[in-house]
């Protein structure tokens, strides 16, 4: 798992960007196209919704979390000595599995080998393992696999492709006294030997412990390719056709794995699972007492289930083999909530609502809608827009008597009368039963996506079978007398478009709204004596936001082909200012994007177009600007604090296409 010294958890609404897996833990979309056979194999996993992640290894001895070997720049020979101190005499597999079961978790995934290369299982491939190289001489995976079978918990193993201890992989900085391992690379001619080593261990894991999940990580190491990942995927699939494999092999995988973040609308069309820590670190860190509240953890689980995903929540046991009590306490609270409300989580599918409800979330089963209410209505009226079907009954899930709640209708909305006092301050579930599949009308989607235009733009509004669309151009809610949308509407001036679905003159959906602005193109500048590339200034220091570079003295100045991070950079505490000119092929509105860890800001001329500033994981932000054909000065500021780093700069618009692409190096110049 990634470095989490400064893991920037942004809460229940955090944005997950799905791009190529880096140390930060954002992921590429390598999940396979789902077939009927896949659906059968994945059925238990999709029903489970909640699992336990366990990061445990000899890094628990120094107690500085799982990336200590890299972040502490510990030489291999020094780090190896922690194995001699690893004697977890208080470990009890049944205790751990009971904690998971009591929390309402349905599966468990434990690290068999993390990035440090130490094997937490009995392997013949290396003596660097828990059975042979510690005074404990026991196999925790064997004990946990058996305990999971006893208690009805599905068992899974984590395996890192990157290996800081392997003789076949080289450190990023091999300084013998102060090494930095991440990202490792294959030593010349050694990839084949390492893949053979991997296959030996993976076969051992499958034949000795019979896991139902194989959870990979570390595929961002240099030299590992999608072809390599697909080869391992196919190898495992032959060993066990029922095995479920995550997407971090690269090249293949059964489900997506956003890390420490919850995608704002899930990942439609894919199985997915958010993995997350209870505090900030994956492995045990004695100094990390920044625990998320039980309320946050429960609402995270609800949020994820409402978007069709699973929640893999991590614990980091101590070197003695004990799961820290603050983590156990929070898991106990989650279990208590699930014992009452689990019907709204297990076996549910994603909400039928395309936007998140303002007061909570929704999950569904055939003939049922579950409304998880975070903000209890003060007036006793729970207003649910867009539900066209009439429920057969409504009740509070925690009410054993299933006392019926009164339901009425106001326009497109169902209004459920609920008690004045909220039954559960963390989350109360209101259940609605229907005779058949409930009909839900989401607000219309108003296009185009780009809300800025030059000259004119054509407005499109999505349709729903059996309805008519009424709209306005002045921001007022549509009425039965408003114009009916039949074809795209051409705008030549700014307007706020609102739209709603109607049946028999009555609204049946919520209202959507979009404001379109008319802009004038920013004039181009002249550019002479230019060369391809981007100038950059590199600075060192500690920041929590992009600094004001004009007051700083750079450590060095150089040129790059594009807005990439230079190879000769520190791992933390630095900033970069990029300066260039971008050639715009034709006048129009362009959208620029930055994905960065930590913060970034993008300017065209003196205009701040993308503000992606602050301490955070790999996060994407974007902004639009109208530009005339020709050259335009572009400037990107970026800073890195602790943890992993990353920067991507993309654009879309006339001449570049209608999907974001990296700004081509053929249109980037600097003044010589």
Q: Output the DSSP codes for 433-460.
A: E-SSSPPB-PPPPEE-S--EESS-EEEE
Give the mean pLDDT of 375-380: 96
Beta bridge pairs of residue 525? 631
The domain in which residue 258 lies consists of: 45-321
CATH number of residue 408's parent domain: 2.60.40.1180
How would you list the strands of the sheet with 50-54, edge to edge?
Answer: 244-245, 213-217, 154-160, 107-113, 50-54, 310-315, 273-277
How many whole angstroms from its chain centre is CA 11? Answer: 12
The answer to whether residues 299 and 412 belong to one domain is: no
Numbers of helices and strands, H then E, in the chain: 10, 36
CB 182 within 8 A of CB 173: no
Same domain, residue pair 514 and 554? no
Q: How far is 364 from 356, CA to CA, in rounded Å?
A: 14
Residue 153 near residue 106 (C-beta atoms within 8 A): yes
- Run of H or E residues at 303: helix 294-306
Which of 282-291, 538-547, 614-623 has the lowest average pLDDT? 614-623
Using the 3D structure, point to which of 296, 321, 346 is the last residue of a domain. Answer: 321
Task: Return the DSSP state at 41.
Answer: H
pLDDT digits 0-9 by tens, 438-457: 999 999 999 999 999 999 99
- Torsional sign, CA 537, 541, 547, 552: negative
288 in any annotated domain = yes
Q: What is the mean pLDDT of residues 548-577?
A: 94
The bridge status of strand 600-604 relative to strand 630-640 is antiparallel
CB within 8 A of 37, min separation 6: which ones?
none
Instruction: Categorize the per-residue pLDDT at 34 as very low, low, confident or very high, splitting at 50, 70 and 90.
Output: low
**Mind listing the pLDDT tens digit for each residue in 222-265?**
999 999 999 999 999 999 999 999 999 998 999 999 999 899 99
SS3 195: helix
Is 427 in the same domain as 366? yes
Does any domain span residue 37? Answer: no
| Residues 105, 170 within the same domain | yes
The whole-angstrom separation of Cα 184 and Cα 173 is 9
Checking if the pLDDT of 106 tops 90, the result is yes
> Are residues 274 and 312 both part of a single domain?
yes
Contact status, residue 566 vs residue 596, Cβ threshold 8 Å: no
307 and 163: one domain? yes
- Tell me whether residue 477 is in a domain: yes
Domain total of the chain:
4
pLDDT-based confidence at 36, cuts 50/70/90? low
Same domain? For 553 and 405 the reply is no
Pairing state of beta strands 107-113 and 50-54?
A: parallel
Tell me which residue of 258, 251, 293 sits closest to 274, measured CA to CA: 258
Q: What is the CA radius of gyration of the chain?
A: 27
193-213 pLDDT tens trace: 999 999 999 999 999 999 999
Q: The dihedral of CA 322, 324, 329, 335: what is its sign?
A: negative
Q: Determine phi and psi for 550, rounding to 5 degrees.
A: -65, -20
């Amino acid at each position: 798992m990634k470095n989490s010294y400064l893991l920037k958890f942004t809460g229940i609404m955090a944005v997950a960007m799905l791009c190529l897996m880096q140390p930060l833990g954002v992921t590429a979309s390598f999940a396979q196209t789902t077939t009927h056979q896949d659906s059968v194999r994945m059925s238990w996993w999709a029903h489970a919704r909640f699992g336990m992640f366990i990061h445990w290894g000899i890094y628990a001895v120094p107690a500085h979390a799982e990336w200590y070997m890299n972040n502490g720049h510990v030489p291999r020979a020094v780090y190896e000595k922690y194995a001699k101190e690893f004697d977890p005499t208080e470990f009890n597999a049944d205790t751990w599995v009971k904690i998971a079961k009591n929390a309402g978790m349905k599966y468990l995934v434990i690290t068999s080998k993390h990035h440090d290369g130490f094997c937490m299982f009995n392997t013949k491939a290396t003596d660097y393992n828990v059975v042979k190289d510690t005074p404990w001489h026991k196999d925790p995976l064997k004990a946990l696999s058996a305990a999971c079978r006893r208690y009805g918990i599905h068992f899974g193993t984590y395996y890192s492709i990157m290996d800081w201890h392997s003789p076949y992989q080289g450190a990023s900085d091999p300084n013998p006294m102060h090494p930095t391992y991440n990202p490792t690379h294959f030593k010349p001619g050694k990839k084949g030997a390492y893949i053979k080593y991997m296959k030996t261990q993976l076969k051992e894991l499958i034949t000795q412990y019979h896991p139902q999940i194989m959870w990979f990580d570390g595929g961002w190491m240099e030299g590992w390719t999608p072809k390599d990942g697909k080869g391992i995927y196919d190898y495992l699939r032959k060993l066990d056709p029922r095995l479920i494999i995550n997407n971090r092999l690269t090249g293949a995988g059964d489900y997506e794995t956003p890390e420490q973040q919850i995608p704002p609308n899930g990942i439609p069309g894919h199985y997915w699972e958010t993995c997350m820590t209870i505090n900030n670190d994956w492995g045990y860190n004695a100094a990390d007492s920044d625990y998320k509240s039980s309320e946050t953890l429960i609402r995270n689980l609800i949020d994820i289930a409402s978007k069709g995903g699973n929640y893999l929540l991590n614990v980091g046991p101590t070197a003695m083999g004990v799961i820290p009590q603050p983590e156990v306490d929070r898991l106990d609270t989650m279990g208590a909530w699930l014992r009452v409300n689990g019907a709204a989580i297990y076996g549910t599918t994603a909400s039928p609502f395309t936007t998140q409800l303002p007061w909570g979330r929704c999950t569904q089963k055939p003939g049922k809608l579950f409304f998880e209410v975070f903000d209890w209505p003060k007036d006793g009226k729970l207003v649910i827009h867009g539900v066209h079907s009439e429920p057969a009954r409504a009740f509070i899930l925690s009410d054993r008597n299933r006392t019926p709640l009164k339901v009425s209708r106001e326009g497109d909305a169902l209004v459920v009368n609920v008690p004045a006092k909220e039954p559960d301050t963390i989350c109360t579930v209101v259940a609605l039963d229907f005779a058949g599949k409930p009909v839900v009308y989401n607000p219309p989607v108003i296009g185009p996506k780009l809300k800025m235009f030059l000259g004119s733009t054509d407005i499109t509004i999505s349709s729903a079978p059996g309805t008519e669309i009424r709209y306005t151009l002045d921001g007022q809610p549509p009425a039965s007398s408003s114009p009916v949308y039949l074809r795209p509407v051409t705008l030549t001036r700014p307007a706020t478009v609102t739209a709603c679905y109607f049946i028999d003159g009555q609204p049946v959906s919520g209202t959507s709204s979009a404001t379109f602005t008319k802009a004038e193109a920013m004039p181009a500048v002249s550019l002479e004596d230019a060369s391809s590339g981007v100038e950059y200034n590199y600075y060192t220091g500690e920041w929590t936001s992009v600094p004001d570079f004009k007051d700083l003295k750079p450590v060095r100045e150089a040129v790059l082909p594009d807005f990439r991070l230079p190879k000769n950079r520190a791992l933390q505490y630095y900033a970069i200012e990029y300066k260039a000119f971008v050639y715009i092929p034709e006048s129009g509105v362009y959208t620029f994007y930055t994905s960065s860890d930590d913060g970034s800001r993008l300017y065209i001329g003196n205009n701040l177009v993308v503000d992606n500033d602050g301490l955070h994981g790999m996060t994407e932000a974007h902004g639009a600007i109208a530009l005339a054909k020709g050259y335009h000065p572009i400037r990107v500021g970026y800073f890195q604090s602790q943890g992993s780093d990353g920067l991507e700069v993309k654009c879309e618009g006339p001449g570049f296409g209608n999907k974001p692409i990296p700004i081509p190096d053929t249109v980037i110049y600097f003044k010589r």
